[in-house]
């Protein structure tokens, strides 16, 4: 048994991160973010329609990490765990990026951006116009548009029937304000996540003042309550932003599918950040191979969970073959997207599954970190595969828009680069681990 | 009065606490013994390290079992329901059984209908892994068996209540009547007894 670490072995005040030490990575992320923002600014005005998809893709990709970070602190507190105290601050800081991300997400509230993305909003806006003239409700106007009206030269569009049926949930604030319209929910998601992230880090920081266990207990009670709202937030956010790209399509597994990816990718990211910090000489006293093993196990668990959910969703939809459901997979199972689909099965599930199966590999920081880089790439492919195939058909540009990948790259650099820059710089604000948490010693000496 | 032939099984030493047992295990390990074991009423964290036990071979067996399950399910289903084997020039395999594709929802009958077979592949992987785990474990630890020589000791039944024991077996190459006893004494063992097995 190695030496049992006590509080006396650890520095007073924890470890403070100096951004200058990690200047290379932080600087390049900042540069990439800046260049991405400039390019995005150009594309935003020059190619609004195709770029809207790029921006949604980039924002949602980054959003999944923040959401995942939020999940790990919630789970860690709610399950009364002690093993992760030494690495908890990494998740806390990750979750607290939600506000900065909210600012980058605001373009999605602009009608000109929504127009190419969400077809249903266009129908709703048209219906609102009709309703304004006829002094009827928007829902009635939508119904009129479904059946058509020759006197007013409105062509019948039977597809809109489903929008009438979904009106209770899927609606926007236009000439009126329904209590839970798309926009209101959009703001609410960020507020809920911000509240969770801020409260849990707040309790953790207060504990650094007095070292009292009562903050841990309060965090546990808070987490148990807010896990419910967290789950609802992730589910409905993915429904609102991605599923409604095709208003005909629906999948009851969608929220879980996205959540599985969130937890998976954010765990990979936090392992990478951990390895990076340890390479710079931080956290070496509190984090051991055992933590890598534990985090690797969770990574493995979510590899399997994602595979299970992704397959179930595919299996039920593809073999049930109901027209409005199958369209999602029909788009992704034909033409070039078919190759991407198969690549995701192998790269997102089979590869990580086999790589993470053995214990010595999970305990080896170098091996795990290499796997994590691959995982981040596969998560990127997964989100890309979910968002981008809608672009061509929705805009009437074929299944693949040539050259639009440059815009996707620009948006990705802008959002991920900027957020990465802010996140890593933000690490310097507090100690890298909660140094007065009474269970820190338990975490440092963890054996599994 | 008849004489019974007896065989020395090994030395059994008792310890008072987990800590003592743990350190005794480290002593025995460092002395280079191979055939010995500790007995306690509950699992002790880190004991495998203190004993210097190498990692079990069971995971490799289970991996092979799992792969076998996946393969069996794959072959069974593709042979009976698709034209995959004849398409790669192994059509004679499909002659063994009648190929009878179940066409549902217009899905293909070639290899690309594979996802439809995933549930069975998954189930058989789990089933074969579970069987290999159970039977592989029993084989590796030598169970079931009728009796164990240690049951001859009067003190040994305490191992399932509050006793902590170390037993060094006589078949260990380093075993010696004096040396092993003094090692156990030095490690803090109490009630050291020579356990004998009736032949």
Chain A partners of B116 at a C-beta cutoff of 8 Å?
A: 315, 319
Chain A partners of B118 at a C-beta cutoff of 8 Å?
A: 311, 315
Report pLDDT for A216.
Answer: 95
pLDDT at A246 over 80: yes
- pLDDT tens digits for range A398-409: 888 888 999 999
Count structural domains, chain A: 1
Pairing type for strands B190-198 and B36-39 reads unpaired
Cα Dmax for chain B = 86
The Cα B53–Cα A141 span in angstroms is 76
Interchain pair B105, A315: CB under 8 A: no
Interchain pair A315, B115: CB under 8 A: yes
Domain carrying residue A225: 46-431
How close is the nearest chain A Cα to the Cα of B50, in Å? Answer: 7
Q: What ipTM was assigned to the predicted interfaces of this complex?
A: 0.80
Chain B partners of A318 at a C-beta cutoff of 8 Å?
A: 107, 115
Percent over 70 (pLDDT), chain A: 98
Q: At what angle do helices B58-81 and B118-141 cross, to 10 degrees?
A: 150
Cα nearest neighbour of B50 on chain A: A1
Sheet with B36-39, strands from edge to edge, namely: B36-39, B164-169, B6-15, B190-198
Chain A partners of B125 at a C-beta cutoff of 8 Å?
A: none
Chain B partners of A357 at a C-beta cutoff of 8 Å?
A: 63
How close is the nearest chain A Cα to the Cα of B180, in Å? Answer: 24
Chain B partners of A1 at a C-beta cutoff of 8 Å?
A: 46, 49-50
Chain B partners of A359 at a C-beta cutoff of 8 Å?
A: 55
Q: Confidence band (pLDDT; 50, 70, 90) for A1?
A: very low
Q: Other CB atoms closer than 10 Å to residue A319's CB: what's the count? A: 14
Which residues of A lie inside 8 Å of B (Cβ-Cβ)? 1, 311, 314-315, 318-321, 357-359, 447
DSSP H helices, B52-192, are: 58-81, 84-87, 91-96, 118-141, 177-186
Cα nearest neighbour of B114 on chain A: A315
Higher model confidence: residue B2 or residue A162?
A162
Partner residue facing A1 (CB), from B46, B104, B116: B46
In a domain, residue A85? The reply is: yes
- pLDDT tens digits for range A177-200: 566 789 989 999 999 999 999 999
Partner residue facing B115 (CB), from A314, A358, A359: A314
Partner residue facing A447 (CB), from B45, B105, B106: B45
- Which two tokens mark B70? 């996946």
In a domain, residue A19? The reply is: no
The Cα A70–Cα A200 span in angstroms is 9
How close is the nearest chain A Cα to the Cα of B112, in Å? Answer: 11
Interchain pair B118, A320: CB under 8 A: no
Instruction: Report the residue of A321, A341, A346 to disrupt the B interface, i.e. the one with the largest count of B CBs within 10 Å.
Output: A321
Mean pLDDT per block of 10 residues along chain B (199 residues) reads 82 94 94 93 91 90 96 92 86 78 81 90 96 96 90 91 94 92 92 88
In a domain, residue A439? The reply is: no
Q: Give kind and range of the element (H or E) at residue B196.
A: strand B190-198
Alpha carbon separation from A345 to A64, A353, B139 (Å, rounded):
20, 11, 36
Partner residue facing A319 (CB), from B49, B55, B105: B105
* Global pTM value: 0.90
Pairing type for strands B36-39 and B6-15 reads unpaired
Strand partners, A394: none
- pLDDT tens digits for range A8-46: 888 888 899 999 999 999 999 999 999 999 999 999 999
Chain A partners of B55 at a C-beta cutoff of 8 Å?
A: 359
Alpha carbon separation from A120 to A82, A169, A240, B92, B197 (Å, rounded):
47, 12, 11, 55, 83
Report pLDDT for A29.
Answer: 96
Chain B partners of A358 at a C-beta cutoff of 8 Å?
A: 59
Partner residue facing B116 (CB), from A1, A319, A359: A319
In a domain, residue A208? The reply is: yes
Q: How many interchain CB pairs under 8 A, A with B?
A: 24
The Cα A393–Cα A397 span in angstroms is 6
Average pLDDT value for residue range A228-251: 94
Instruction: Report the residue of A319, A342, A360 to disrupt the B interface, i.e. the one with the largest count of B CBs within 10 Å.
Output: A319
DSSP string for A379-410: HHHHHHHHHGGGHHHHHTS-SS-TTTHHHHHH
Instruction: Report the residue of B115, B117, B119 to disrupt the A interface, i.e. the one with the largest count of A CBs within 10 Å.
Output: B115
Q: Confidence band (pLDDT; 50, 70, 90) for A2?
A: low
Cα nearest neighbour of A322 on chain B: B105
- Which two tokens mark A226? 């807010």
């Amino acid at each position: 048994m190695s030496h049992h670490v006590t509080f006396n072995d650890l520095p007073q005040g924890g470890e403070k991160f100096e951004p200058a030490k990690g200047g290379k990575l932080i600087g390049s992320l900042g540069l990439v973010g800046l260049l991405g923002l400039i390019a995005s600014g150009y594309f935003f005005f020059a190619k609004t329609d195709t770029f809207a998809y790029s921006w949604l893709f980039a924002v949602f990709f980054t959003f999944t990490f923040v959401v995942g970070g939020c999940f790990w602190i919630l789970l860690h507190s709610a399950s009364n765990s002690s093993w992760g105290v030494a690495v908890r601050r990494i998740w806390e800081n990750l979750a607290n990026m939600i506000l900065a991300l909210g600012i980058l997400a605001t373009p999605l509230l602009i009608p000109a951006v929504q127009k190419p993305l969400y077809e249903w909003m266009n129908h709703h806006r048209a219906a609102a116009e009709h309703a304004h003239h006829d002094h009827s409700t928007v829902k009635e106007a939508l119904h009129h548009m479904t059946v058509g009206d020759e006197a007013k030269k409105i062509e019948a569009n039977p597809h809109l029937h489903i929008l009438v049926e979904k009106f209770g949930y899927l609606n926007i604030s236009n000439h009126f304000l329904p209590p839970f319209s798309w926009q209101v929910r959009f703001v609410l998601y960020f507020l809920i996540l911000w509240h969770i992230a801020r409260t849990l880090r707040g309790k953790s920081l207060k504990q650094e003042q007095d070292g009292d266990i009562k903050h841990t207990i309060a965090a546990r009670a808070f987490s148990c309550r807010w896990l419910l709202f967290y789950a609802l937030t992730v589910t409905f956010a993915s429904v609102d932003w991605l599923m409604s790209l095709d208003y005909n399509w629906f999948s009851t597994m969608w929220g879980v599918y996205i959540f599985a990816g969130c937890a998976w990718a954010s765990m990979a990211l936090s392992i990478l950040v951990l390895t990076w910090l340890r390479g710079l000489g931080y956290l070496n006293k509190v984090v051991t191979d055992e933590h890598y093993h534990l985090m690797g196990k969770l990574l493995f668990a979510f590899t399997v969970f994602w595979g299970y959910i992704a397959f179930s969703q595919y299996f039920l939809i593809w073999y049930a073959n109901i027209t409005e459901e199958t369209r999602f997979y029909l788009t992704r199972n034909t033409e070039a997207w078919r190759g991407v689909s198969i690549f995701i099965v192998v790269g997102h599930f089979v590869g990580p599954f086999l790589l993470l199966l053995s214990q010595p590999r999970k305990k080896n920081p170098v091996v795990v970190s290499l796997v994590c880089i691959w995982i981040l790439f596969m998560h990127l492919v997964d989100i890309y595969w979910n968002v981008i195939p809608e672009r061509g058909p929705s805009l009437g540009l074929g299944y693949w828009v040539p050259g639009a990948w440059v815009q996707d790259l620009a948006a990705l650099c802008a959002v991920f680069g900027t957020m990465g820059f802010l996140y890593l710089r933000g690490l310097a604000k507090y100690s890298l681990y909660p140094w007065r948490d009474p269970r820190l010693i338990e975490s440092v000496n963890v054996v599994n | 009065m008849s004489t019974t032939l007896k065989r020395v099984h090994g030395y059994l030493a008792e310890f008072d606490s987990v800590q003592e047992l743990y350190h005794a295990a480290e002593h025995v390990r460092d002395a280079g013994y191979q055939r010995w074991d500790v007995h306690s009423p509950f699992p002790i964290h880190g004991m495998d390290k203190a004993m210097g036990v190498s990692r079990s071979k069971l995971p490799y067996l289970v991996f092979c079992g799992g792969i076998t399950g996946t393969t069996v399910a794959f072959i069974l289903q593709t042979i009976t329901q698709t034209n995959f084997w004849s398409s790669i020039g192994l059509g004679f395999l499909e002659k063994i059984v009648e190929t009878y594709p179940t066409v549902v929802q217009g899905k293909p009958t070639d290899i690309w209908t594979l996802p439809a077979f995933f549930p069975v592949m998954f189930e058989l992987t789990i089933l074969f892994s579970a069987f290999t785990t159970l039977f592989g474990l029993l084989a590796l630890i030598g169970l079931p068996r009728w009796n164990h020589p240690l049951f001859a000791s009067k003190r040994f039944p305490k191992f399932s209540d509050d006793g902590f024991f170390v037993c060094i077996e006589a078949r260990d190459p380093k075993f010696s009547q004096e040396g092993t006893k003094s090692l156990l004494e030095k490690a803090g063992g109490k009630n050291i007894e020579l356990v004998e097995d009736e032949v």
